[in-house]
A and B are shown apart, each in its own frame.
Chain A
Amino acid sequence: MNVAVTTQPKRKPSFGDWLKTLTFYELLVGMKATLTHLLNYKPITLQYPHEKRLLPDNYRGMLALLRYDDGTEKCVGCDLCEAACPSRVIRVVSGEVPGEPTKRYSKEYYMDMTRCLFCGLCVDACPVDALGMTREFEWAVYDKRQLHLNKQQLLAIGDRSFPVREKRLELQHPNVAFFNVTFKHLPQKEN
Chain B
Amino acid sequence: MPDQKPETVRLTIDGTTVAVPKGTLVIEAARRVGVMIPHFCYHPKLKPDANCRMCLVEVEKMPKLQTACSTPVAEGMAVRTATTTVDDAHKSVLEFILANHPLDCPVCDQGGKCDLQDFSHQYTPTTSRFTETKRIFQKEYFSPLIETQMNRCVQCLRCVRYCDEIMDVKALAPVGRGTMTEIKHFGPHELDCEFCGGCIQICPVGAITSRLSMYEYRPWMLKRADTICTFCGDGCRITVQTKGNELIEVNSAHGAGRNNGDLCARGFFGFHASSDADRLTHPLIRREGKLVEATWEDALEYVAEQALRLKLAHSADAFGGLITSRCTNEDLYVFQKFMRQVIGTNRIDSSARYGHLNGVQALRRVQGTHRWTIAFEDIVAANALLLVGTNITETSPITGLKVKEAVKKRQASLVTMEALQPAIDTLSNITNLALQHFPTHPAQFGNTVLGLTKAVIEGNLVDATLAQQAPAFVQRLTSALQGISWENLEAVTGQTRTQWTETAKILAGANRLVILVGNGVLRHPGGDATVTNLLDLLILLGKLDKPGCGLGPLAEENNDQGAVEMGAVAEFFPGPAPLDDQPVRDRIATVWREELPRTPGASLTEMLAAANKGSLKALFVVGENPVGTLPAEAQAAEALGKLDLLVCQELFLTETAAMAHVVLPACSYMEKDGTFTNSEGHVQGVRQAINPVGDSRPDWEMFSALSVLMGSPLEYGDAREILKEIRTVIPGYGLLGPTPTPPKVDQAVLSGYLTQGFAGDAATRYAVSQPRQTGDGSFTLMFVQTLFHSGKLSTHSKGLLQLQQEGFLSINPEDAARLDLADGGQVKVSNSRGAITTTVKIRERVPAGLLWFPEHFDGEAKQLAEWTIDPRTQIPYFKLAHVSLAKVS
A and B touch in the complex (CB under 8 A): yes
Residues of A within 8 A of B (CB): 76-80, 83, 94-96, 102, 104, 127-128, 174-180, 183, 185-187, 189-190
Say yes or no: B141 contacts A178, CB within 8 Å.
no
**Does B141 lie within 8 Å of A179, measured CB to CB?**
no
Against A, the Cβ 8 Å flags (1 = close, 0 = not) of B132-170 are 011010010100100100010000000000000000000
A76 close to B214 (CB less than 8 A): no
Q: For the complex, give the distance between the alpha carbons of A190 and B801 in Å.
A: 11
Q: B791-816 CB contact bits vs A (8 Å, 1 = yes)?
A: 00000001000100000000000000
Among B101-109, B257-265, B536-544, which stretch is in contact with chain A? B101-109
A174 to B107, CA, bound (A): 18
Which residue on A lies nearest to B214, using beta carbons?
A189
Q: Which of B215-223, B349-357, B599-607 contacts A (4 or more CB under 8 A)?
A: B215-223
List B contacts of A179 (CB < 8 A): 102-104, 107
Docked Cα-Cα span, A76 to B216, in Å, equals 12
Chain B residues positioned under 8 Å from A174 (CB to CB): 133-134
Q: Which interface residue of B106, B136, B802 has the most chain A CB atoms within 10 A?
A: B106
Q: Contacts A174-B133, A183-B139, A190-B144 hold; do A96 and B215 have CB atoms under 8 A apart? A: yes
B107 touches A180 (CB 8 A): yes
In the assembled complex, the Cα of A174 lies from the Cα of B151 at a distance in Å of 14
Q: Which residues of A contact B141 (CB under 8 A)?
A: 185-187
Which B residue's beta carbon lies closest to that of A80?
A: B106
Flag if A96 contacts B139 (CB, 8 Å). Answer: no
1/0 per residue, CB under 8 A from A, across B758-792: the answer is: 00000000000000000000000000000000000
Verify B218–A83 contact, CB threshold 8 A.
Answer: yes
**Closest CB of chain A to B563's CB: distance in Å?**
35
Whether the Cβ atoms of B798 and A190 lie closer than 8 Å is yes
A95 x B133 contact (CB < 8 A): no
A70 to chain B, nearest CB (A): 19
> Could you say which residues of chain B place their CB within 8 Å of the CB of A95?
215-216
A174–B221 Cα distance when bound, in Å, is 33
**Residues of A close to B364: CB separation below 8 A:** none
B145 to A, closest residue via Cβ: A190
Residue of A nearest to B100 (CB): A175
Is B102 within 8 A of A178, CB to CB? yes
Q: Does B111 contact A (CB under 8 A)?
A: yes
B101 to chain A, nearest CB (A): 10
CB distance from A78 to the nearest CB of B (A): 4
Q: How many residues of B contact A (CB 8 A)?
A: 24
20 extra A-B contacts, CB within 8 A, seeds A76-B106, A79-B221, A178-B151:
A77-B107, A77-B215, A78-B111, A78-B218, A80-B106, A83-B218, A83-B220, A104-B107, A104-B215, A127-B106, A175-B133, A176-B102, A178-B136, A179-B102, A179-B103, A179-B104, A185-B141, A186-B139, A187-B141, A187-B144
In the complex, chain B residues whose CB is within 8 Å of the CB of A79 = 218, 221
CB distance from A142 to the nearest CB of B (A): 31
> Given A79-B218, A178-B151, is A102 in contact with B139 using a C-beta cutoff of 8 Å?
yes
Interface string of B592-625 (1 = CB under 8 A from A): 0000000000000000000000000000000000
The answer to whether residues A189 and B102 also contact, given A102-B139, A175-B133, A175-B134 and a CB cut-off of 8 A, is: no
Give the CA-CA distance A152 to B141 in the complex, in Å: 33
Candidates B104, B134, B214, B220; contact of A96 at CB < 8 Å: B214
Q: Once the chains bind, are A128 and B106 in contact (CB under 8 Å)?
A: yes
Tell me if B833 counts as interface (CB < 8 A to partner A).
Answer: no
What is the bound-complex CA distance between A158 and B132, given in angstroms? 34
| Bound CA–CA A140/B207 (angstroms) | 47
Q: State whether B220 touches A190 (Cβ < 8 A).
A: no
8 A–B contacts, CB within 8 A, in A order = A102-B147, A174-B134, A176-B102, A178-B104, A178-B136, A180-B107, A185-B141, A187-B144
Would you call B211 an interface residue if the criterion is a C-beta within 8 Å of the partner chain's C-beta atoms?
A: yes
Give min CB distance, A51 to chain B, whole Å: 42
Set of chain A residues within 8 Å of B220, measured between Cβ atoms: 83
Cα A139 to Cα B563 with chains together (Å): 64
Instruction: Using CB atoms, name the residue of chain B closest to A96.
Output: B215
Q: Return chain B residues, CB-CB under 8 Å to A127.
A: 105-106
A76 touches B144 (CB 8 A): no
Contacts of B139 in A (CB 8 A): 102, 178, 183, 186
Ranked 6 nearest A-B pairs via Cβ: A78-B106, A127-B106, A104-B107, A180-B107, A79-B218, A174-B133
Q: Which residue of B lies closest to A106 (CB)?
A: B215
CB distance from A77 to the nearest CB of B (A): 7
* Separation of A91 and B875 alpha carbons in the complex (Å): 56
Please name all residues of chain B whose beta carbon is closer than 8 Å to the beta carbon of A76 when the two chains form the complex. 106-107
Q: Which residues from B are CB-within-8-Å of A175?
A: 102, 133-134
Chain B residues lying within 8 Å of A190, measured Cβ to Cβ, are: 144, 798, 802
Q: How far is the CA of A189 from the CA of B103 in the complex (A)?
A: 23
Q: How far is the CA of A104 from the CA of B798 in the complex (A)?
A: 22
- Taking the closest CB of chain A, its distance from the CB of B442, in whole angstroms, is 36
Residues of chain B contacted by A102 (CB below 8 angstroms):
139, 147
Rounded to whole Å, the gap between the CB of A187 and the closest CB of chain B is 7
A127 CA to B107 CA in the complex, in Å? 10
Instruction: List B823-856 residues whose CB lies under 8 Å from chain A.
Output: none
Contact with A along B199-224 (1 / 0, CB 8 A): 00000000000010011101011000
Q: Is the CB of B216 within 8 A of A94?
A: yes
List the B side residues contacting A187 at CB < 8 Å.
141, 144
Distance of A77 Cα from B217 Cα, bound (Å) = 10
A96 neighbours in B (Cβ, 8 Å): 214-215
Report the bound CA distance from A65 to B221 in whole Å. 23
- A189 with B107: CB separation less than 8 A: no
Q: A83-B218, A94-B215 are in contact. Are A180 and B144 (CB under 8 A)?
A: no
Residues in B neighbouring A128, C-beta threshold 8 A: 106
Bound complex: CA A176 to CA B107 (Å) = 12
Point out the residue from A94, A180, A185, A186 that lies within 8 Å of B104, measured CB to CB: A180
Closest residue to A128 on the B side, CB-wise? B106
Chain A residues, Cβ within 8 Å of B211: 189
With a CB–CB cut-off of 8 A, which chain B residues contact A178?
102, 104, 136, 139, 151
Docked Cα-Cα span, A104 to B144, in Å, equals: 17
In this complex, what residue of A is CB-closest to B221? A79
Complex Cα distance, B106 from A77, in Å, reads 8
- In the complex, which residue of chain B has the Cβ closest to the Cβ of A180? B107
* Residue in chain B with minimal CB distance to A175: B134
Minimum CB distance partner of A97 in chain B: B215
Complex CA gap A83/B802 in Å reads 33
Q: What is the minimal beta-carbon distance from A75 to any residue of chain B, in angstroms?
A: 10
